Amino acid sequence: GMDVVDKICKEVKPVDDNGKVNKNEQPVIEKVTVID
């Protein structure tokens, strides 16, 4: 949920004013769990 987005926004630092993040620093989703 939004807690994941908030954590990414807090931890990932863009390198310019457009929000660009270097490839080696981009967050990667490694696992998705669907609860039905």
> Six-digit token pair at 1?
């949920």
Phi, psi angle pair for 25, to nearest 5°: -110, 0
Cα–Cα dist 21/36, whole Å:
34
pLDDT digits (tens, 9 = 90+) for 1-30: 899 889 998 999 999 999 999 999 999 989
pLDDT given for residue 33 in this prediction? 93
pLDDT given for residue 4 in this prediction? 86
**Is the CB of residue 14 less than 8 Å from the CB of residue 25?**
no
**Is the CB of residue 21 less than 8 Å from the CB of residue 15?**
yes
pLDDT given for residue 1 in this prediction? 80
Q: Which pTM does this prediction carry?
A: 0.55
Cα–Cα dist 14/26, whole Å:
9
